[in-house]
């Protein structure tokens, strides 16, 4: 067995047992420089959209329904011109469609020996003083679209550190025994679904009594690193306490046999933008709406 094969097996074991694994240096050299430049261009496009929404004094749903704009930008709660995240990246950037996303997908498929299809993509712009994401599971945001299992590839453009709000994962979520948990069988194993707060400021957040029983590990990363994590592992991140924005892309894949839902997902989001299922546990005003 080669070194690469042993490494792939170790990564697969960690992804299944811990819910996440770290792939250092997935994007390097000139590709990393192109990634940085394209990220800046997309961020400027997001800023222009937020400015248009403010100047037109319309809601996000109204803007997307009447403008024909397909690229999606979302502002940080409390600042209509500060980008929290932007989405529909594969549909908006040739570099991501033809190079960056396929690179991440190939690493995922090599590790799991399974084929995947992109469900959604986003870039989180964790600006200084903002960007905290409460403890949550991604599965609750995706379950209505059919697939029961997803793996996200988080690609970092900037270093992720404890100071700027690096991702924190639960290391014991498969070990909790509580009647509040609902367990689901998937193609890659059996996973729990945690109860969450419904509506209000904590909408989408895992109930405090269970969050307190979870052990959390901060996972730091360097530019070009990828973190793979499944849609059941609880995760969160703190506010960015540094003076620089921390940019990270999140490409969420479902198993290919479950179908290609990318365009369907974004049609639904543009048509019903205020629905909090699209903003679970995010630092945006849409995440707290009651439905």
Reported confidence tier of residue 3, pLDDT bands at 50, 70, 90 = very low
CA distance 221 to 185: 31
Q: List pLDDT tens digits, range 150-171.
A: 999 999 999 999 999 999 999 9
pLDDT for the residue numbered 9: 52
Is the distance from CB of 204 to CB of 280 less than 8 angstroms? Answer: yes
Q: List pLDDT tens digits, range 240-283.
A: 999 999 999 999 999 999 999 999 999 988 888 877 778 777 77
Looking at the predicted structure, is the pLDDT value of residue 172 above 80?
Answer: yes
Reported confidence tier of residue 287, pLDDT bands at 50, 70, 90 = very low
Residue range 194-213: mean pLDDT, rounded: 92
Which range among 8-22, 43-57, 67-81, 258-272 shows the weakest confidence by mean pLDDT? 8-22
CA distance 287 to 291: 11
Which range among 84-93, 94-103, 181-190, 221-230 shows the weakest confidence by mean pLDDT? 181-190
pLDDT for the residue numbered 6: 47
Name the phi and psi angles at 13, rounded to 5: -60, -45
Looking at the predicted structure, is the pLDDT value of residue 284 above 70?
Answer: no
What is the SS3 assignment for 174-233?
CCCCCCCCEEEEECCEEEEECCECCCCCCCCCECHHHHCCCCEEECCECCCCEEEEECCC
Is the distance from CB of 253 to CB of 153 less than 8 angstroms? Answer: yes
Nearest to 151 by CA among 182, 191, 210, 203: 191
pLDDT for the residue numbered 22: 96
4-8 long-range contacts, CB within 8 A, separation 24+: 8/110, 8/111
CA distance 268 to 31: 32
Strand partners, 22: 227
Candidate CATH numbers 3.90.245.10, 3.30.379.10, 3.40.50.300, 2.60.120.620; the one for domain 3-277: 2.60.120.620
Which range among 57-61, 72-76, 197-201 shows the weakest confidence by mean pLDDT? 197-201
Looking at the predicted structure, is the pLDDT value of residue 290 above 60?
Answer: no
Is the distance from CB of 91 to CB of 66 less than 8 angstroms? Answer: no
CA dihedral defined by 210, 212, 214, 219, rounded to 10 degrees?
130
Q: Extract the tokens encoding 27.
A: 């994007």
Q: Which residue has the higher pLDDT, 273 or 30?
A: 30
pLDDT for the residue numbered 286: 52
Reported confidence tier of residue 198, pLDDT bands at 50, 70, 90 = confident
CA distance 144 to 210: 24
Report which secondary-structure segment, H or E, holds 62: helix 60-67
Looking at the predicted structure, is the pLDDT value of residue 200 above 70?
Answer: yes
Mean model confidence pLDDT for the chain: 90
Q: How far is CA 59 from CA 56, 284, 291, in A?
A: 9, 14, 17
Looking at the predicted structure, is the pLDDT value of residue 288 above 70?
Answer: no
Looking at the predicted structure, is the pLDDT value of residue 289 above 50?
Answer: no
- pTM: predicted TM-score of the whole model, two decimal places: 0.92
| Domain parsing of the chain, residue ranges | 3-277
CA distance 124 to 126: 6
Q: Extract the tokens encoding 265.
A: 């997902």
């Amino acid at each position: 067995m080669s070194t690469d094969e042993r490494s792939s097996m170790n990564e697969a074991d960690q992804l299944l047992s811990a819910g996440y694994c770290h792939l250092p240096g997935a994007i390097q050299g000139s590709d990393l420089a192109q990634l940085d430049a394209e990220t800046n261009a997309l961020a400027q496009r997001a800023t222009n959209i937020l400015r248009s929404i403010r100047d037109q004094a319309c809601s996000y749903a109204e803007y997307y329904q009447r403008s024909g704009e397909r690229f999606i930008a979302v502002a940080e709660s409390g600042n209509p011109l500060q980008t929290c995240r932007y989405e529909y990246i594969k549909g908006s950037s040739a570099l991501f469609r033809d190079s960056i996303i396929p690179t991440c997908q190939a690493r995922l498929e090599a590790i799991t020996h399974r084929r995947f299809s992109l469900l959604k993509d986003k870039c989180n712009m964790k600006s200084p003083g903002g960007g905290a994401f409460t403890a949550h599971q991604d599965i609750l945001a995706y379950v209505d679209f059919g697939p029961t299992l997803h793996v996200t590839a988080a690609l970092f453009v900037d270093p992720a550190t404890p100071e700027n709000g690096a991702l924190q994962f639960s290391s014991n979520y498969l070990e909790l025994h509580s009647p509040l948990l609902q367990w689901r069988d998937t193609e890659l194993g059996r996973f729990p679904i945690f109860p969450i707060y419904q509506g209000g400021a904590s909408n989408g957040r895992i109930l405090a009594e269970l969050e307190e029983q979870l052990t959390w590990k901060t996972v730091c990363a360097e530019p070009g690193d990828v973190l793979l994590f499944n849609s059941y592992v609880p995760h969160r991140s703190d506010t960015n306490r540094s003076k620089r924005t921390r940019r990270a892309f999140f490409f969420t894949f479902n198993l290919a046999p479950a179908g290609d839902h990318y365009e369907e997902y974004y049609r639904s989001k543009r048509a019903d933008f205020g629905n909090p299922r699209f903003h679970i546990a995010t630092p945006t005003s849409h995440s707290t709406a009651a439905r």
